[in-house]
Structure 1
Amino acid sequence: SPDGEYAEETGLEKEQIVVLRRAFDSFDRDKKGYISPETVSDILRMMGIKVSSTSFKQIIEEIDEDGSGQIEFSEFLQLAAKFLIEEDEEAMMKELKEAFRLYDKEGNGYITTQTLKEILHELDARLTAEELVGIIEEIDEDGSGTVDFDEFMAMMTG
């Protein structure tokens, strides 16, 4: 489905894409397939996303690849993703802290690289064994076989 492809390209949830599609369509009354940057700004405001006019201009320039001055649906999704996904970063930090605590059962302040492999596999089942080993080697530079919270955070947010 096109929504599935959009989800992969933008990192948005399918539900978010459905909501954004409805918003886009309700403003694209003549079904031209695009809306104006001003309209985009209105939609973001309705979604409770605050954006300064300077950064908005920059983002529009970046996203309006064909320079048409009109924002097509795929461009609109990329733009919305920038805001929606940044909002999620704080929530992600919290989740990572909880995940780390969950796996650091003894409260040592570190987890083993074996445990980290399991976490990574749960987060992304597509990772191959080689990729996992590569990631672990990158993080566990001193070869200690353990990863502390800072190393864990750096990896997850890097």
Structure 2
Amino acid sequence: MRITPYVNQSSDEIIKLITTIQIEEFGVATSAEAQPDLRDIPGFYQQGRGNFWLAYVEDDLAGTIAIKDCGDGVCALRKMFVKSEYRGKQHGVAAALMQTLLEGAKAGGVSEIYLGTVDVYHAAHRFYEKNGFVEVARNDVPDSVPLMDVDVKYYRYRF
């Protein structure tokens, strides 16, 4: 497995991975059109302390994770998705993506990371909690943190 920052890879492949998991696997009411950030990854994510990483197993896109700079040392964790065939400890894709994000954030001077997620991602909730994220109320999330309309659970990580 290798993890690399986004550098002009096909956004179509990334959109397909993410929307397939969101819509087909978990039934989330969203679309590619509702996520214009995926058509402008450098402009949306790779600014300030932000970045967008891709995990590959051989030449297969296995997963994604992103961090968006929201200002004042606050960032948002976004777009963490791993293909079903690469999930689990035996593959280590999610753990490697999270480690890459946390190391990059810490090195970049981030003080807090927030995320919003939908209720049906139960395994993801456990994963975030095992990695030091603490559930918080929606009103504890700074207004500068972008959330999706479908988000119902919120987490914070502090360095």
Q: Normalising by the residue count of structure 2, what TM-score does the alignment of the two structures yield?
A: 0.25
Q: Which has the larger share of strand?
A: 2
Q: Which has the larger share of helix?
A: 1
Q: Which has the larger radius of gyration?
A: 1
Q: Normalising by the residue count of structure 1, what TM-score does the alignment of the two structures yield?
A: 0.25
